Structure 1
């Protein structure tokens, strides 16, 4: 009888130890962004890398409204040609990771303007965006984020479709003041 009780207790103990040592499933790995090799602003261009909180983008990019996102935008203006990328990131947390499905579902918007250029109609088809708050203990208006993005667009017309990839890695600063 004592042998059976001891055996059962040992089996119970082994089972508990086995469960406590197993990997936790469902947790995302920590987001890592190397702060080297930041994207340079093109020669002669005026670039901005900013973010605001509790916002959304009106249809037809460029104007913000109150919303549930942290909006990051990078813009480059060079001799009348402008390119702006808007990123709708979640408000919660000190990091985020947007994947292909997020990009296709409109979490990224791109606006480009050139009065004398011929642009082919395109749609966003793939890529990723990840971001980390580098000063999470600071108030939102005193922090900075680093974002890394690779956005792939594809021409709507033509066969085969023409693809273009935009890569961005840069620090983003607040475009608002709380204090």
Structure 2
């Protein structure tokens, strides 16, 4: 009887500890994401920051397809050069955080396009992405999200070459509900 009581107490403590930790993490994430120090569009580039819902990207990274994510993308263009960062966020909730493991699991993807460039191919290997719906009381097609991302990239050919992309910007909807 005593062994069962101790086991039940341990299970209850584990449940209480895990729920209290997740509540604290949500509170910290909401407090840390503010609207100060937005990153400007780099000079000589055209930028857009958009999102859509119930979406994903195909394997080639060239087309949006139906899927289980709220898909955010930051696109940077200049002539034939194009770099797009895709973030696959959960559909539920008014905020989210993606950590290193989520990045390694493919929730953040980087697509480069430049037919006439000699470029080093990079892949995301670390960092974080935080997102917050700034207008949760509005319809999805009228909302504005704030995302902050720090993505650490590593050359596909080897870890000797690294780069970091930082984005903190407003993302607007790229769809219309009728």
TM range (shorter): 0.7 to 0.9
Shift of 1:115: 2.3
Three-state SS of the structure 2 residue aligned to 1:148 is strand
- Aligned 1:36-75 pairs, distance under 5 A: 36-75=36-75
Matched, 1:83 2:80: no
Shift of 1:65: 1.4
Matched, 1:163 2:159: no
Shift of 1:24: 2.9
Three-state SS of the structure 2 residue aligned to 1:24 is helix
**Contact residue 76 and residue 84 of structure 2 kept, 8 A:** yes
Distance 2:36 2:121 in 1: 33
Distance 2:152 2:118 in 1: 19
Partner residue of 1:29?
26
Give the aligned CA root-mean-square deviation in angstroms: 1.5
Shift of 1:67: 1.0
Distance 1:123 1:90 in 2: 21
- Aligned 1:98-137 pairs, distance under 5 A: 98-137=98-137
- Aligned 1:11-30 pairs, distance under 5 A: 24-27=20-23, 28-30=25-27
Structure 1 residues 155-179: Cα deviation after superposition (integer angstroms, max 9, x where no partner)? 1325x61110000000000000113
More displaced 10-residue stretch of structure 1: 98-107 or 160-169: 160-169
Task: Point out the structure with the larger helix share.
Answer: 2
Q: For the structure 1 residues 121 and 76, does the alpha-carbon distance in structure 2 shift closer, same or farther, using more than 3 Å as the test?
A: closer
Structure 1 residues 50-93: Cα deviation after superposition (integer angstroms, max 9, x where no partner)? 00001111101121111110000010111221110110000000
Q: For the structure 1 residues 105 and 171, does the alpha-carbon distance in structure 2 shift closer, same or farther, using more than 3 Å as the test?
A: same
With structure 1 as the length reference, what TM-score do the two structures score? 0.82
Structure 2, gaps ≥5 residues long: 1-18
Could you say which structure has the larger radius of gyration?
1
Distance 1:142 1:36 in 2: 22
Three-state SS of the structure 2 residue aligned to 1:26 is helix
Distance 1:45 1:165 in 2: 18
Equivalent residue pairs, number: 156
**Contact residue 51 and residue 73 of structure 2 kept, 8 A:** yes
